[in-house]
Amino acid sequence: MSALPPALAGIVEDFAALEESQRLELLLEFSDALPELPPRFADHPELLEQVAECQSPIFLALEVDPEGERAVHLFFSAPPEAPTTRGFASVLHEGLDGAPAQAVLDVPDDMPHLLGLTRAITPLRMRGMSGMLVRIKRQVREALAAGTA
């Protein structure tokens, strides 16, 4: 798991250590831990990008520090009535928030499958999870190319 930032690698290991039946429970626990949006995004939802691949209305934004390792900071809006999708957003937040931009870009696109949830979650939901990661990586690349990072 060398392509994963340390925090995300630890989360993947936590999921792998569980029985398959317990992995969904852990994902649901993550859903309760997703931070609220800061006012600069909560008051301006137009700054968030919708993840169209998700069945639920999930929105995200990120900021990349302009100096140093260019740490990525993630922000998600996910409704409580979408606990699996919200849980995955929380996994990405906990695993990638504060990671260097290049480390985020190096995360394999199939990372959601590393959580071992493919039999517990529908393929459509798995596609939504992958969509979140793809959009995060695209936004990081755009921020770096625009020189805002």
Instruction: Give the pLDDT mean for 9-22.
Output: 93
| C-alpha separations of 148 from 40, 50, 62, 65, 101 in Å | 17, 21, 12, 8, 12
Q: Which helix (H) or strand (E) holds 50?
A: strand 49-50
Structure confidence at residue 132 as a pLDDT band (50, 70, 90): very high
Q: What is the pLDDT of residue 2?
A: 53
Mind listing the pLDDT tens digit for each residue in 52-111? 888 889 999 999 998 878 999 999 999 999 998 999 999 999 999 999 999 999 999 989
Q: Average pLDDT over the chain, rounded to whole?
A: 91
The tally of CA atoms less than 13 A away on the side-chain side of residue 24 is 12
**Is the pLDDT assigned to residue 147 strictly greater than 90?**
no
Instruction: Give the contacts of 6 (CB within 8 A, at least 6 positions apart).
Output: none
Instruction: Judge contact between 51 and 132, C-beta under 8 A.
Output: yes
pTM here is 0.92
**Is the pLDDT assigned to residue 122 strictly greater than 80?**
no
User: What CATH fold (topology level) applies to the domain 6-146?
Assistant: Sufe protein. Chain: A (3.90.1010)
Angle (CA) 48-52-55 rounded to 5° is: 115
Residue spans per domain, the chain: 6-146
Instruction: Give the contacts of 122 (CB within 8 A, at least 6 positions apart).
Output: none
**Is the pLDDT assigned to residue 148 strictly greater than 90?**
no
Structure confidence at residue 1 as a pLDDT band (50, 70, 90): very low
How far apart CA 34 and CA 14 sit, in angstroms, is: 17
